[in-house]
Amino acid sequence: MRPLTIKEKRRRGRHGQHGQAQRAYSYCTCRIILAVLVLIINTAGWAGAADADALVLRSEAAVLMEYTTGEVLVEKNPHRQLPPASITKMMVMLLVMEAVEAGEIKLSDVVVTTPEAARMGGSQIWLEPGEEMTVAELMKAVSIVSANDASYALAEHVAGSHELFVEMMNKRAQELGLTNTRYVNSTGLEPDGGGEGNITTAYDMAVLARELLKHPTILQWTGTWIDSLRGGESFLRNTNNLVRFYEGCDGLKTGYTDEAGYSLVGTAQRNNVRVIAVVMKAPTSAVRNSDITKLFNYGFSRFKSLPVAKSGDTVGKIRVIKGEEQEVEILVGKDLILVVKREEQAEPEVEIVLPPHVRAPLARGEKVGEALVKMDGEVKARADLVAAADVAEVGFFRFLFQVARDFFAGFFGG
């Protein structure tokens, strides 16, 4: 039988990380178990991080974190160092998005595949030397099918070389306080010829995921179940089955090697509550998905969201110095939502932080202050306060007239 050509391999969709979807586990069983566990938890009045054994987690390490506060709700061997496999690529995704935000690269940049990138094994999109793809297309490949060749190509594009990019990865890990994380490559593959590979912990990956979620564009890729590249020639199916099978799941990254076992950094959002769940070194993909499902369900059973203000709500007005208008309305820049424990009874307090005035020119939507939501004196949520309209700057003589007018108005009590 003749070997398959590259084109035939692409058409067969050999871009998944672990082969065909595994649907052996029963979601109904998971829900029944979770319902009983939640009843036990609520009856006992648990607080703080739960005992992972109570959730019957079979993965070697696990962490459940609430997104807005970073509070850890469940942990099992959270600081045990383990090989991350492809969840390594979360750091690649973060550095790419930070480079885009800084204006150093663009999602529309065309990346030319090097021979080194094309040689990457494991999960891939079969890039050929000299093949061109945009940064956005490569990010799609990394996010959906965990493509090693795409990850390597992005690393070279951002830093100029793979070696320099790995230095960036380790530097960023230090900045984020990922003290138990070390990178030797951008793919998570075990090094050729042996030697120490990438290493991390479930807790470090939860912290990294929380940082990555500051770039919500990433969820457009990680939350996609089916897509394609090369004009539909290359089929992409998400390696994270929960994106399809768990309501609200929209990321983030799977991982698997023989040494690392099955890992997943997942995130899901329901009713404005977002949680991050990490499991590492599960024995099978079915166990990995089951453990993440249990963690998600537990997180959503413990938290609720309290709407405080809506985007566009008017807060008041602020004085504008040297402006065509002397004052401008202030709006809440985004929905202000407080996420709290379900048993929380205290009323939130909102503090408006504004300077006495702002200076023209002022653009519509420009930040002028901040709204802080506090519980028991601690800031739990915040949102920018923005200008409701453009305010142009006046000329010198008109500015002098404004100053004189304000002076006499104040002097005479006008």
Partners of 198 in the β-ladder:
none
- 124-171, pLDDT tens digit by residue? 999 999 999 999 999 999 999 999 999 999 999 999 999 999 999 999
> b/e map of 126-156 (b: 16 or more CB within 10 Å)?
bbeeebebebbbbbbbbbbbbbbbbbbbbbb
- 361-387, pLDDT tens digit by residue? 999 999 999 999 998 888 888 999 999
Q: What pLDDT is recorded for position 24?
A: 36
Q: Which of 160, 133, 176, 155 is nearest to 89 (CA)?
A: 155
State residue 143 phi and psi, 5-degree precision: -70, -40
Q: What pLDDT is recorded for position 404?
A: 59
**Annotated catalytic sites, by residue?**
86, 89, 146
Q: What pLDDT is recorded for position 193?
A: 77
State which residues of the chain have pLDDT below 70.
1-53, 395-414
Is the N-terminal amide bond of 252 cis, ω within 30° of 0?
A: yes
CA distances 147 to 14, 150, 239, 304, 380, Å, are 11, 5, 11, 36, 38
Q: Which domains does the chain have, with CATH numbers?
A: 6-303 (3.40.710.10), 310-411 (2.60.410.10)
Tokens of 337: 């939502």
Q: What pLDDT is recorded for position 45?
A: 30
Q: What pLDDT is recorded for position 344?
A: 83
Tokens of 6: 């590259």
Q: What pLDDT is recorded for position 102?
A: 97
Q: What pLDDT is recorded for position 398?
A: 59
The helix (run of H) or strand (run of E) holding residue 277 is strand 273-282
Q: What pLDDT is recorded for position 402?
A: 57
Q: What pLDDT is recorded for position 376?
A: 84
Q: What pLDDT is recorded for position 254?
A: 98
Q: Give the β-pairing of 327-332 and 336-341.
A: unpaired
Q: What pLDDT is recorded for position 42?
A: 34
